[in-house]
């Protein structure tokens, strides 16, 4: 039995390391995807898109490890909450991967557009999204309930920034219809950033549920 518990904790620690790695990769990929939009860097966009399969594979490995931990060891109480949170967070990170790839694809299409509105409209939304994603992952790895709750409290700010971004792009189109196609691409980028933010909040929620389940009930 003791050997089984040692093997269980080793497998749990390995899955947690993979999850932290996946989270760090997503923060880095998000930063580069936004940079690709700002700089019209098609090469950078291509690297993000082609690297997505490896990220997906890592996410699936984490999910498989979590399922096996539950099936083989039948963890209880705190251990079960941790494994369940890891599974859910891995799923969120894989969805984030999808939206980051979507941003990179829009960056490629934007590179071909000569008339485009100022992409400064993305800056605040992108910055908040990256900060919240990094904080949400940090809340899990550091077991920091306060940090998770801080991410959850950012939802209202997201709505304000997202709404401001949409209005800014709409005004740019009214002022110059030549930017319509590029502005539409940027609207899609804004929406993808909002979705990443929603999944960052979900990661924070699952972390808070793991650390203080009674507070999330």
Q: Which fold is adopted by the domain 2-216?
A: Methane Monooxygenase Hydroxylase; Chain G, domain 1 (1.20.58)
DSSP-derived 3-state class of residue 25: helix
CA distance 211 to 189: 33
Contact 121, 165 (CB under 8 A): yes
Both structure tokens of 25: 């990769």
Per-residue pLDDT of the chain (217 residues), as tens digits, is 555 567 777 888 999 999 999 999 999 999 999 999 988 899 999 999 998 888 899 999 999 999 988 887 666 777 889 999 999 999 999 999 999 999 999 999 988 877 677 767 788 899 999 999 999 999 999 999 999 999 999 878 888 888 888 898 899 889 988 889 888 999 999 999 999 999 999 999 999 999 987 655 5
Q: What is the pTM of this model?
A: 0.91
Q: Which phi and psi (to 5°) does residue 144 adopt?
A: -110, 100
Contact 29, 97 (CB under 8 A): yes
> Considering the chain, what percentage of its residues have pLDDT values greater than 90?
60
Domain ranges of the chain: 2-216
- A 10 A CB-CB count for 146 gives 9
- Alpha carbon distance, N-terminus to C-terminus of the chain: 34
């Amino acid at each position: 039995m003791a050997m089984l518990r040692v093997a269980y904790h080793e497998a749990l620690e390995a899955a947690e390391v993979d999850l932290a790695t996946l989270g760090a990769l997503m923060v880095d990929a998000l930063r580069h995807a936004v940079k690709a939009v700002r700089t019209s860097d098609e090469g950078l966009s291509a690297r993000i898109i082609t690297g997505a399969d490896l990220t997906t594979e890592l996410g699936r490995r984490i999910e498989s490890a979590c399922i096996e931990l539950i099936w083989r060891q039948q963890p209880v109480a705190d251990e079960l909450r941790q494994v369940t949170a890891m599974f859910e967070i891995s799923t969120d990170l894989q969805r984030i991967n999808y939206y980051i790839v979507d941003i990179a694809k829009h960056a490629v299409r934007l590179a071909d557009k000569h008339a485009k509105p100022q992409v400064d409209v993305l800056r605040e939304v992108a910055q908040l999204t990256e900060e919240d994603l990094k904080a949400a992952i940090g809340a899990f790895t550091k077991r920091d309930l306060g940090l998770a709750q801080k991410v959850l409290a950012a939802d209202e700010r997201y709505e304000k920034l997202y709404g401001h971004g949409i209005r800014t792009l709409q005004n740019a189109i009214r002022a110059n219809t030549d930017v319509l196609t590029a502005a539409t691409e940027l609207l899609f980028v804004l929406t993808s950033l909002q979705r990443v933010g929603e999944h960052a909040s979900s990661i924070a929620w699952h972390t808070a549920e793991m650390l203080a389940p009674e507070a999330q009930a």
